[in-house]
């Protein structure tokens, strides 16, 4: 290909990009979320939030809880995003995302927050769940509990989620 054709192609490409630039919408789009009526599509709860030595490192700096999710049986395949947030009394926060794709009508997740309980005071666990079927639906729940002692973490925080 000769040099003048290459220059012409590059010029046309740059010029067309400049012309199209005002029509490119790269601003964030708002998603209309409907807060779910608890009986409608999803019910979610957090149970049994406690602390202990669940990673066997001789430090009671771990947190355990269960997240129970009940789906409306009329929904066949469920695809949801679950966000788990852990707020510590000192203002530290941890957020974890769990993707769920299931045909089941109820799912129980066993969550472990290893090396997270190192400050005394009230801890808050929040679960947000998003269902992108039949519209965009959202619901959440939370639990507050108080591990009784303060202790320096022995290693980095680790999150584990298993299906029961």
Give CA–CA dist 132/79, Å, rounded: 7
Helix runs in the chain, H state only: 3-20
Structural domains of the chain sorted by starting position, each given as residue range(s) with its CATH number in brackets: 34-163 (2.60.40.3880)
Residue 31 tokens, joined: 């998603």
Per mean pLDDT, which range of 13-17, 47-51, 71-75, 150-154 is the poorest? 13-17
Give SS3 for 150: coil
Position 1 pLDDT exceeds 60 = no
Contact 115, 158 (CB under 8 A): yes
Give CA–CA dist 61/129, Å, rounded: 27
Q: What number is the average pLDDT over the span 124-135?
A: 86
Contact 159, 110 (CB under 8 A): no
pLDDT at residue number 107: 93
To the question of pTM greater than 0.75 for the whole model, the response is no
Grade residue 156 by pLDDT with cuts at 50, 70 and 90: confident
Q: Which residues pair with 108 in a beta bridge?
A: 68
Give CA–CA dist 30/17, Å, rounded: 26
Position 9 pLDDT exceeds 60 = no
Look up residue 92 and give its DSSP letter. -
* Residues in CB range of 21: below 8 A, 6 or more apart: none
Residue 10 tokens, joined: 């590059």
Q: What number is the average pLDDT over the span 64-71?
A: 93
In tens, the pLDDT along 16-65 reads 444 333 433 333 344 445 555 544 678 899 998 999 999 999 888 899 99
Grade residue 151 by pLDDT with cuts at 50, 70 and 90: low
């Amino acid at each position: 290909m000769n040099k003048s054709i290459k220059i012409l192609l590059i010029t046309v490409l740059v010029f067309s990009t400049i012309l199209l630039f005002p029509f490119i919408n790269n601003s964030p789009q708002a998603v209309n979320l409907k807060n779910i009526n608890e009986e409608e599509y999803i019910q979610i709860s957090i149970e049994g939030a406690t602390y202990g030595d669940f990673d066997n490192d001789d430090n009671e700096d771990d947190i355990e809880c269960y997240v129970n999710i009940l789906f409306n049986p009329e929904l066949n395949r469920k695809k949801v995003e679950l966000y788990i947030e852990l707020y510590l009394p000192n203002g530290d926060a941890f957020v974890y995302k769990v993707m769920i794709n299931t045909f089941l009508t109820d799912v129980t997740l066993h969550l472990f927050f290893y090396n997270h309980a190192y400050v005394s005071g009230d801890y808050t666990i929040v679960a947000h769940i998003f269902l992108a079927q039949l519209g965009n639906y959202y619901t959440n729940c939370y639990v507050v509990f108080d591990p009784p002692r303060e202790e320096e973490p022995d290693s980095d925080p680790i999150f584990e989620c298993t299906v029961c």
